[in-house]
Chain A
Amino acid sequence: MNTSDTTVSVADLKKTFFDESRGEVKAVDGITFSCVPGEVFGLLGANGAGKTTTLRMLSTVLKPTEGSASVMGHDVLNEPEATRENLGFYSASTSLYPRLTGRETLEFFARINHYPPEKVAKRVGKMVARFGIEEYMNARVEKLSSGMKQKVSIARTVVHDPPVLIFDEPTVGLDVLNAIEMVKVIRQLRDEGKTIIFSSHIMSEVEKLCDRIAILHRGRILALGTLESLRQATSLHYLEDIFVHYVTEAEGVEGAGIGATGEFEASK
């Protein structure tokens, strides 16, 4: 990989929570990866594998216990504001302000993400056209349907034109059509040269969308590579089988892995 192109770089990142009963809980236990423009980097893992914790550290909401991470050369610890300026963060837990209209929402997020003030109106207009949300731009978000909200939300994520976009389990809770729409949008954004980090536990999505996949389990990356390279390494075809293969190997005991880490949603 060409390091001069690197947009996101994560090195030996660790996050330890202090838990009163278990003592230290290693949610993320030393992971390393980097991303380049125009790729979708997939974090695949069961619930509790450390996906959200990793992405929250990248977006500076959580502080790493050890290791380092940077976005567009800005260190998450030392330059949190600059880091976030270069990020668009979308997840099931990033809601919109119900009492703002769609247009106001986009303006607000463009401004606080330091988009040049004089260009905000033009940029918002462009986003409105692109995501086809003209009709309900001036209605308050609280009055919109969930599909409409989703579109405004994606527009909110990209309105300040950040080079790196994080989608943390973006299809959770969406119906099939909206989920397909989401995947389509992500692919378009990739084609525009954005770096996209996509986390999911749904095999089919990861299989279709991601250029490279990191299999995350108990805070560690078990395998990292393109789908093709993972297939070659394991001599298995389906991502589901590949995933189970690595997790089982890590657990040491046949079939123990999935049950221990929580429920698991397979694709087909």
Chain B
Amino acid sequence: MSGATKQSALGTLFRYEIKMLLRDTRTILIAIVAPLVIFPAYILILGYVESREQEALEETTYTYAVLGTESEWAAELVLAAVARESSDPDTSSAPVTFERRSPEEPLADLEAGELHVVVEGLSAVEWDSVRAETESEQSDSTEDRADASQQPSVPAVRIHFRAESDFSREARNRLTERLREIRASKRDSVYQAAGFPIAMERVAQVEEVSVATAAKEAGALLGIALTPVLVLLMLSGGSIVAVDAISGEKERGTLETLLTTAASRTEIVRAKMLAVVAVGLTVAVINVANLLLYLVVGLLDLPANFAVEVGIWELFLLLVLFVPVTLLVSSALLLLSGASKSYKEYQVYFFPVFLVFLIPTFAASLPGIELRSIISFVPLAGVAVATREIMIGVTDLLFIFIAFLTTGGLAAWLTHLTQQTLSNEKLISGSDLDEADLTGGAALFPRHVIRLFLGMWVVFFVVSLWFGEDLGIRGQVAVNVVVIFFGGCLLIVRRYGLNAVDAFGLRIPHPTAWLAVIIGAPSALILAVGLGELMNRYVLPVPERMLESFGQSLAPPDMTLWQLVFFLTILPGIFEELTFRGVLLYGLKERIRRRWLLALVVGLIFGLFHVSLFRIVPTALLGFVLTVVVLFSGSIYPAMLWHALNNAIGIIPFRLKILPADFEPSAWWTLPAAIGLAVSLWILWRGGTDGSKRATSHSGRGA
């Protein structure tokens, strides 16, 4: 067949995809027409509610009561404030009226909602004791206290209100503001009586001038919002087609019909992707046009002085940048559709995917973030930051290109994965009998391993968040590695009836493995630090905090040496290995056949179990190396020693002051370290997984 006819298959697929979508009137109504109506309705209703509330707040007569030892003085003050409120012409909002009540129990009435505010007049002595109390709580400002205590005491006003009531808050606001004004004018008159030479309002005046043009200011704002809005609209719009595109075909039983035609998998995926892009963009354009229409009609107001200045070149750059974004969103949705067996499964997974894709687009609103940083390598986040920079007239072409490449690269990879789902035999012949489901037990473990560890992560995260501080570092390590990790693993082994020797990798390694660990552990650590340093110097500045935690592990000064050794090297060495290189690796081995990918995944999961964002990369790296050690040696024990040594080298020499606290290995050490690591891994590999007396065959091992 010639290329021309193949082209037409793509066109036909796309045309019919759209045709079928357009015939699904209900979907079209809900997905495209509904937002057009709902969005302005939402704005109108919101505006209405707000103006009604404003009106209600202005029309209300606020009731107050006065109490306290200095109640007469306070009442006078409040009266002056209320008079000011009703007579002052210099106010942006309409004045409100206050009414004094004299109930028996003002505070009880306030709580019951009978009163809006209660004003309490405190005597000088009372006020001093109140102040002394609050100051002893915030003991840091000793100087202020010394100053204050020398000054003569004066009475004060305390306003009681109910924070949950809009009306009570409004009364509080108005009253406080007026009381402050009265205070200021009293103070001013005292100054002036004492002969202060100039008018009070002319003292220390401040004027603000922004050097940014209105366009720049608006550009920065719009630049932050542009990517999230586009991604949001693409996600919601594209999803209409995506869900139907593959998981819908599976559900209706048309996928096999389509897969047995001459159309290639590539053509099918491309046509569906085009459809997702087309509909996603259409929905985005319709919504933006809708928004513009309401701006023109006057239903919506732009901020004053709003102006955007984007030249042709910038516009072109933005369009180019948004190509990989739309492709990425579409490919992700399509992959989701391909990986789901049904509509329902798609819907279950949609929300997490939605969040995962939306969150990076907010990168541009991070304070002080610049494209010329690691962020440009993060798909979507890089584009988001680049967009903001372009909108304020900064075009860093090299890093814009990097953002383009990473986002586009991920899109291409996801598209490739989607094509694979069309060849995934389990997903296509989903109706076939699944032995593992019937057998249960150990056979199910590899399938559940990811969600089990996700559950473990949630427990770990919640415990760190809620009890982290109470437990202290010792308690935290003990609870995490022994109770959560190892305890969780024991439960897993029991529940699935796993063979503990296999699951934990409890085998005697080849004797040379120990030598390999002695060489390898320090080499790997030095290499990692060195590579981090090189990367920092020549490629990209790594955030400062990442470097800090890279070199120095958490070694609190209040721990004795043996505690350091026990809690930070021995415990993690044993139990983290049993958990991650034992049970986790055992489960994933059945699922991921490519060994390097397996090590990468185990490393990454290990990294995610270290809450601090800056520790993920170094720990993931360590996890990767340790997985390789286990895969090469066939035993968990060398990895345990390696892990313990790694932690010890990072802590002990600094603690014993053998090395200065700010010590960093010179970049020149990197080369011998790399050789050391290579030699170590070679020894492990040569030693093989056979160990001394271990059974040679092991199920699930294959290339």
Contact = CB atoms under 8 A, between A and B. Distances in A.
Interface residues of A, number: 41
28 contacts: A19-B435, A20-B446, A20-B590, A22-B435, A60-B260, A61-B259, A63-B423, A63-B425, A80-B264, A81-B262, A82-B1, A82-B262, A84-B260, A84-B261, A89-B257, A89-B260, A94-B254, A95-B257, A96-B257, A97-B20, A97-B254, A98-B252, A99-B19, A99-B20, A100-B19, A111-B8, A113-B261, A114-B1
A128 to B, nearest CB: 19
A95 B23 CA distance: 18
Interface in B189-248: none
B429 interface: yes
Given A81-B264, A93-B431, A112-B262, A19 B8 contact: no
A71 B366 CA distance: 59
Contacts of A61: 256, 259-260, 428
Contacts of B253: 93-95
A104 B16 contact: yes
A94 B433 CA distance: 19
Q: Which of B16, B256, B257 has the most CB of A within 10 A?
A: B257
B560 interface: no
A87 B257 CA distance: 12
A248 interface: no
B447 A62 contact: no
Given A95-B253, A96-B254, A113-B263, 8 more contacts: A20-B444, A21-B435, A21-B442, A62-B429, A94-B253, A94-B257, A97-B254, A112-B261
B435 A91 contact: no
B256 A93 contact: yes
B9 interface: yes
A120 to B, nearest CB: 10
B254 A109 contact: no
Nearest to A113: B262
Contacts of A113: 261-263
A261 to B, nearest CB: 12
Q: In the A-B complex, list the 10 residue pairs whose CB atoms are closest, starting with the nearest.
A: A21-B443, A95-B253, A89-B260, A85-B262, A94-B257, A21-B439, A111-B12, A20-B443, A99-B23, A112-B263
Contact of B24 (A60, A85, A99): A99
Interface of A: 17, 19-23, 25, 48, 56, 59-63, 80-82, 84-85, 87, 89, 91, 93-100, 104, 108-109, 111-114, 117, 140, 156, 160
Nearest to B266: A81
A110 B20 CA distance: 17
Contacts of B12: 108, 111-112
B5 interface: yes
Interface string B425-462: 10011010101100101111011000000000000000
Most buried by A among B253, B261, B433, B443: B261
Contacts of B20: 97, 99-100
Nearest to A15: B425
A100 B435 contact: no
A17 B9 CA distance: 32
Most buried by A among B24, B253, B699: B253
Nearest to A48: B433
A82 to B, nearest CB: 7
B13 A112 contact: yes
B260 A109 contact: no
Contacts of A108: 12, 16
Nearest to B10: A112
Contacts of A62: 425, 428-429
A196 B444 CA distance: 40
A80 B261 CA distance: 10
A55 B590 CA distance: 28
B16 A94 contact: no
A109 B1 CA distance: 16
B5 A114 contact: yes
Contacts of B447: 20
Contacts of B13: 112
B34 to A, nearest CB: 20
Contacts of A87: 260
A48 B431 CA distance: 12
Contacts of B252: 95, 97-98
Contacts of A19: 435-436, 443
A19 B425 CA distance: 12
Contacts of B1: 81-82, 85, 114
B256 A94 contact: yes
Contacts of B444: 20
Nearest to B426: A17
Nearest to B244: A99
Nearest to A58: B260
Interface string B676-698: 00000000000000000000000
A21 B437 CA distance: 9
A111 B12 CA distance: 7
Interface in B640-688: none
Interface in B253-292: 253-254, 256-257, 259-264
Contacts of A17: 425
A66 to B, nearest CB: 15
Contacts of A156: 257
Interface string B364-396: 000000000000000000000000000000000
A25 B439 CA distance: 14
Contact of B699 (A23, A82, A95, A114): A23
